[in-house]
Amino acid sequence: MHRSVMLRRAGQFVQFKKYFLYICMIKLFLRLSLQSVKHDFILCVGCIASTMQSVVSPGTYCSPGGPQIMSKRGVLTFNKFRQMYQDFWKPPPPKPPYSHICQIGDPVLRGKASPVNVEEIGSAKIKKIIKTMESSLKSYKAIGLAAPQVGVPLRIVVFHFPEDALKTFDEKTLKIREMETIPFKVFINPAMKVTSPNKIRFPEACESIKGFSADVPRFYSVKLTGLNENGKKVEWDAKGWSARVIQHEMDHLDGRLYTDIMDKDSFSFGFWHNVNIRSGRFNLSFSPYKIFS
């Protein structure tokens, strides 16, 4: 390759590095300015300047720890700056209420949820929690959801089982399990009373134990009372499948999962056959928009 071409390409590469570092500096400035840490920004600018100098000037040598500048707070090396830059691009962990559903093993699913302060019902905080729960309930196509499942240890449960979801079951299953549509319901600080001591065993699943199911005994009928999202008293006399859903969600509020009371021999992974026919090349998604791949 001709020497002039090589020099031109080398110059383009150096120019690219300079522009990249300028972009890094601008992004870092935006972050640090929001955090009101101007002193750290000055250190980072100095570090970038030192780095650029080492890139542009072939004769410049760096210490083993990378370019350094001194300040009253000590030495900031290029390695430290690189770590700061990586932290900048890595998104911070989300805060509850989550838009996803927590999975078994998360401590929030094993703690007892706290009652909601009645005076806070209708507040922006509680409205946000309920709105997030409603959104997750519908996007995951679940029937019931408890606040701990979205990372919030409060005694709130929501329910919804629309007509289109009901149609996904055959007539025999609907009749045997006594399944019915459930309009969207919110219960804050719910209390449950068993109205029938008879227990019925049916398969049960949970979005917090994704992909698995088991036979679980539940009381045939219960009565649920509590407050709705407006702070008004509400009650629900339920039987069959609806009563099962209520008991399932009430267990969540007390840190229990269906695995605690299930028929252990019936516990199974719903996609075991897919794992076999794909020779193990199977991925289960915990996103509401994609079940598996």
Q: pLDDT digits over 159-196, tens only?
A: 999 999 999 999 999 999 999 999 999 999 999 999 99
Total-model pTM: 0.71
Task: Give the closest residue to 246 by CA, choosing from 292, 293, 180.
Answer: 180
pLDDT confidence of residue 289: 65
pLDDT of residue 90: 73
pLDDT-derived band of residue 8, with 50, 70 and 90 as boundaries?
low
Q: Which residues pair with 275 in a beta bridge?
A: none
CB 102 within 8 A of CB 151: yes
pLDDT of residue 68: 47
pLDDT of residue 97 exceeding 90: yes
Q: What is the predicted pLDDT for the residue at 93? A: 82
- pLDDT tens-digit series, residues 26-80: 766 666 555 544 445 444 545 444 444 444 444 434 444 444 444 445 555 667 7
For the chain, the structural domain boundaries read: 3-89, 107-277
In this structure, the dihedral spanned by the alpha carbons of residues 15, 16, 22 and 27, taken in order and rounded to 10 degrees, is 180
pLDDT for 256: 99
Output phi, psi for 53, to 5 deg: -60, -40
Superfamily of domain 107-277: Peptide deformylase (3.90.45.10)
pLDDT, tens digit, for every residue of 105-127? 999 999 999 999 999 999 999 99
pLDDT of amino acid 24: 65
Task: Please identify every residue annotated as catalytic.
Answer: 249
d(CA 33, CA 88): 13
Distance separating alpha carbons of residues 1 and 8, to the nearest angstrom: 11
pLDDT in tens, 126-147: 999 999 999 999 999 999 999 9
Task: For residues 224 and 236, give the distance between their C-alpha atoms in angstroms, rounded to a whole number.
Answer: 5
Per-residue model confidence (pLDDT) at position 23: 72
For strands 221-227 and 233-239, give the pairing.
antiparallel
- Residue 59: Cβ-neighbour burial (10 angstroms; 0-12, 13-18, 19+): exposed
Cβ partners under 8 Å of residue 27, min gap 6 = 88
Instruction: Reply yes or no on whether the pLDDT at 249 is more than 90.
Output: yes
